[in-house]
Amino acid sequence: MNITQPGARPTRVCTRRTMRRVYTRCTMRRVYTRCIVLILLVCFVSGSMSCGFIVFNDPTTESTTPGTTESTTAESTTVTTTTAPTETTEPVDPREEADKLLDSLADRNLGGAGVIIATTDDETICPLSSDDEVIAARSVATRAVEDKYNALIITDLVDSQSMLDAALEAVAADMYYADLLAVPLSRLGSFMQAGILMNMYSLPYTDYTKSYYYDVTDEAVFGGELMAAYGAANFNPEQLSCVYFNRDLIAEYSLDNPYDLVYSGDWTWEELARLSREVNAAAGVYGHGTDYTTDEYISGAALSMGIDYVTNRANQAPFVSYMAEDKLANDANGIVDILYRMLYNNSALAPEGDSSDLFTSGELLFDFGSLEKMTSLTNRDVNWGILPYPKYDEEQRHYLSPLSSDAPVFCALASTPNYETSGLILEALNASYYGYTNEIYMNERINYCLRDNDSINMLELILDGATSDFAHMFASGFASLANATYSAVINAVTTRSTLTALYQSWHTAADSELAAAATIYE
């Protein structure tokens, strides 16, 4: 592991990749390095001039240098070569790549018209210029869309309830309110239940199969209708959860390196719990703690373990199903058991509310928090690294990073008079942000925050794993949905009620509510 001092800039050793490639490429990097060293050693020992690295002048031998027609002897002082220079690849400018995507979209001239986006988060959604380079990059991406369509994008900052009230009035009066809404994902159910949202599959010029729309969009489908979209223009890394850890404690007590566990696919909640116990026993410090409330911690942890509460198929009302089959029920009960032991049967747990101070003072190994916290650790003495949330078991395919409940998703109102503008701007914003804003974020964190190369790879994994689910997005609109899903898991952990009993108590009512709501948009 390459360790740098606080404030030093680590080298970015792995380019951005998909989740499917990260483990192989990061592991193979080490293999390639060893192979190259071995090849160089062989070339050095053999003195082979054909390898192109080293030329020996043997005073007793006359030979011909590759690439020349002259003999070399002991008296030779100059060797002329004609070897072609190594080809280099020009670095890709992410802004240029985003502009190419933007240029590929339909052209329109909106004649300088204003396009209004009502939002609860104007640092993520189309912000004005800022001294913060990451926010400023979002502003640059927005200006590119304005230039393409000769339009002025205006954000209306408003709290979610005021937005809902104003939207209800506008729809009732058949009047204009906004071309797009950016609502907190946890409030989507309330907006949908109000009957004011349009099916976003109906928006012209949109293609939700494009890479600039994230998988979270799939969770916003309700009975075959798309209620919201989540893409590059919504994505704010600060709203993702991660695990911070003390690298010095790992090294001092010869504990298994969490980075290696991540690379091998073995970074699970059981492994985190084991390391927490080991450091607690060896050093007398706390093993793990969290910045979140108990409910938030349990809910996010269950998401990271891949729990799938609801079955959601086209042309069918969604229904709660995570306990309907033995395998699903066993996994759900396993999640409850893991979290109970983490919170209530583990002397390594830090006292609630103290984890941040304990971590920065070197008295805590693992600290659960958001990526937003990273900048506050920059000048701290603690030698920290970051990790994705662990998996349920080794069979889980990906590391998942729970999104904040405040993360914004795009919606369109049924009363929007010009669907063409809404579709054009939605598609263009996501294309213009794609790749560019994340690259700026990565570079900023590499330059000013991260302390080792492995953390760069971990940060990429965290960003690639952004997740939420149907239950968290729609529960605000249904009295029983939360109780039948993530609140049931919370209660099973905190009260030791059986998850099966909680599920049986609530899932029928939740299914009935979901079935009734599905008829609104038929």
* Residue 61 burial by Cβ neighbours in a 10 Å radius (0-12, 13-18, 19+): exposed
| Structural domain boundaries enclosing 211 | 94-237+405-452
How many domains does the structure of the chain reveal?
2
Q: Is residue 26 part of a domain?
A: no
Which of 15-24, 106-115, 265-274, 412-421 comes out lowest in average pLDDT? 15-24
User: Is 412 in the same domain as 398?
Assistant: no
Q: Residue 36's pLDDT band (boundaries 50, 70, 90)?
A: very low
Q: Is residue 272 part of a domain?
A: yes
User: Is 260 in the same domain as 229?
Assistant: no
User: Counting runs of H as helices and runs of E as strands, what totals does the chain give?
Assistant: 18, 16
How far is residue 119's CA from residue 68's CA, in Å, rounded to a whole number? 69
Q: Is residue 466 part of a domain?
A: no
- Across the range 76-81, mean pLDDT stands at 40
Q: Is residue 168 part of a domain?
A: yes
User: Is 352 in the same domain as 331?
Assistant: yes
Q: Is residue 48 part of a domain?
A: no
The pLDDT value given to residue 139? 98
pLDDT digits (tens, 9 = 90+) for 350-377: 999 999 999 999 999 999 999 999 999 9
pTM attached to this predicted model: 0.83
The CATH number of whichever domain residue 513 belongs to comes to: 3.40.190.10
The pLDDT value given to residue 520? 57
The enclosing H or E element of 368 equals strand 364-370
User: Is 148 in the same domain as 186?
Assistant: yes
User: Is 383 in the same domain as 356?
Assistant: yes
User: Is 382 in the same domain as 482?
Assistant: yes
Q: Is residue 14 part of a domain?
A: no
Q: Is residue 303 part of a domain?
A: yes
The CA distances from residue 148 to 114, 336, 402, in Å, are 14, 51, 34
The CA distances from residue 226 to 133, 198, 325, 514, in Å, are 33, 8, 27, 15
User: Is 159 in the same domain as 219?
Assistant: yes
How far is residue 465's CA from residue 513's CA, in Å, rounded to a whole number? 31
- Across the range 178-197, mean pLDDT stands at 98
Q: Is residue 111 part of a domain?
A: yes
User: Is 206 in the same domain as 153?
Assistant: yes
User: Is 303 in the same domain as 365?
Assistant: yes
User: Is 362 in the same domain as 433?
Assistant: no
The pLDDT value given to residue 494? 97
Q: Which residue has the higher pLDDT, 345 or 97?
A: 97
User: Is 247 in the same domain as 312?
Assistant: yes
- Across the range 505-518, mean pLDDT stands at 96
Q: Residue 87's pLDDT band (boundaries 50, 70, 90)?
A: low
User: Is 398 in the same domain as 413?
Assistant: no
